[in-house]
Amino acid sequence: MKISARLPSGPWRSPLRGPWLTSVFGLVLLIGIPVLFLTGLLSYAAYNPDLSPVNDKTPDKGLLGFYLFSWPTRPYWLYRVNQGVHVTLGIVLVPVLLAKLWSVVPKLFTLPPVRSVGHALDRLSLLLLVGGGIFEFLTGILNVQLDYIFPGSFYPLHFYGAWVFFGAVTAHVALRLGRTWRALRGRNVWAELRTSRTGTRPEPPDDSGLVSTHPAAPTMSRRGALGMVGLGSLALFVVTAGQSLGGPLRRTALLAPHGRSPGGGPGGFPVNKTAGYARIRARDVDDSWQLVVGGRDGARVTLSLDQLRRLPQHGAGLPIACVEGWSTENQHWEGVRLADLAGLVGYDTDPPGVFVESIQRGGAFRAAALRDNQVRDPRSLLALRVNGAVLTPDHGYPARIIVPNAPGVLNTKWVGRLTFGATTAGGHA
């Protein structure tokens, strides 16, 4: 009777549930979740969090941010790939996550809830695992689909949640890897994929708590269940990946919140916040517009658009890659090197980082801080033109930042002020 006390009674009667099916879903997540964790951590490093409070505002990263490093400017496409993988994989794994939860659902409702100290710890780790997983996937998806419904707080939530979730995943893997491995070896996957519904039998009774004691007749085969989940993931991939891969595939990105058909011409690539959304008025960017550049020992230079155009112009082919996963193909930007602008205010060599402010009043992303390595890269520009034409209003006319291998959020549009050697308004590094 010892065994039957651990077996699910109650409404859970699917004959498909069992250690093998759970382990197959678990194996996919075991490969996918570390990739999500790693690309997520890299994404934080890329946001220059040590230049808070303007960039990533997550407080107390001291302990959890032990790994942070100076994010490089090359290869210029790395952030685009990193974020495309993070967001696309996160979305594609949703059906697998749901299937895994479905497969273990009887375990989440076992009675009595706690049998021993060991069992209590095991259940607590499951709570953090299931809760943490749902929390991470939900905050991530809400963020990419509804753009920042948690103003300013998405980053800390998703960052702290990631550590809790990954800690629970690690504990879970340590506790279950042996059992998973045995379960996977216990059945032949190819034989399983050849078994139709009528040939489908429950897994043998065991003490896993997953196999039903009074299984119902199968309504689908394991092959069918795996196929349904696989097709779900494939469908999500097809309607998501185009937003990062770009080209003609952009049209297939039905789930992409931005720029599925961004139009043609030089400004024909996706826009995050439009000039209208940012409440940029025509008179803010007419002939009265000026760029204020601050620098060493209070040096200050004011430049009109004509004066900027008379400075040496340089080009760079760079994408915009948003933290939300969508990105553009390389665009050809032209403008003034950030390093040259630093040279106008006392930093002829080895310029420091720069604090960039938009003329936009308010809004989460009106300012950003760049590191010295970003300022020094010859491809880092205050861009005045893109693809052979003056910037469109939505892409930041009269001037915007473009930096290689940086998250889109650092490419400030409608720039009004640059302060070299500062990381906050009025502050100095």
Ligand X SMILES: Nc1nc2c(c(=O)[nH]1)N[C@H]1C(S)=C(S)[C@@H](COP(=O)(O)O)O[C@H]1N2
Told to check if 395 binds ligand X by CB under 6 A, we report yes
Residues in contact with ligand X, shown as a per-residue x/- string from 320 to 359 under the rule CB under 6 A: x-x-----------------------------------x-
Whole-angstrom distance, CA of residue 206 vs CA of residue 214: 13
CB of 79 to ligand X, least distance (A): 11
Among 411, 417, 418, 421, binds ligand X (CB under 6 A): 411
Task: Give me the least distance between CB of 301 and ligand X, in Å please.
Answer: 21
Q: Which is nearer to ligand X, 233 or 328 (CB)?
A: 328
Question: Which are the contacts of 244, defined by CB distance < 8 A and separation ≥ 6?
Answer: 80, 83, 84, 87, 88, 321, 325, 326, 327
CB atoms inside a 10 Å sphere around CB 151 = 8
Interacting residue with ligand X among 202, 270, 294, 404 (CB under 6 A): 270
Residue 93 binding: pick among Mo ion, ligand X, none (C-beta 5-8 Å cut-off by kind): none
3-state secondary structure 359-377: CCCCCCCCEEEECHHHHHC
Residues present in the chain in total: 429
The answer to whether residue 360 forms part of the interface with ligand X (CB under 6 A) is yes
| Distance, CA of 47 to CA of 389 (rounded, Å) | 29
Question: Residues 8, 14, 20, 26: is their CA dihedral positive or negative?
Answer: negative
Contact pick of 322, 359, 369, 418 for Mo ion (by CB under 5 A): 322
Whether 384 and 336 have beta carbons less than 8 Å apart is answered as yes
Residue 87 CB, nearest approach to ligand X (Å): 13
Q: Which residue is nearest to Mo ion (CB)?
A: 322
Specify the residue, 353 or 396, whose C-beta has the smaller distance to ligand X.
Answer: 396
Residue 408 in contact with Mo ion, rule: CB under 5 A: yes
The residue among 51, 102, 54, 63 whose CA lies nearest residue 367 is 54
Does residue 265 belong to the site contacting ligand X (CB under 6 A)? no
Residue placing its CB nearer to ligand X in the complex, 41 or 271: 271
Name the residue type at position 22: T
Q: What is the DSSP letter of 321?
A: B
Q: Is 409 in the site for Mo ion (CB under 5 A)?
A: yes
Rule CB under 6 A: choose which of 195, 412, 419, 423 binds ligand X.
Answer: 412
For 122: left if phi > 0, alpha if psi spans -120 to 50, otherwise beta; the answer is alpha
Which residues would be at the binding site for ligand X (CB under 6 A)?
Answer: 270-273, 278, 320, 322, 358, 360, 363, 365-366, 395, 408-409, 411-414
Which residues would be at the binding site for Mo ion (CB under 5 A)?
Answer: 322, 408-409
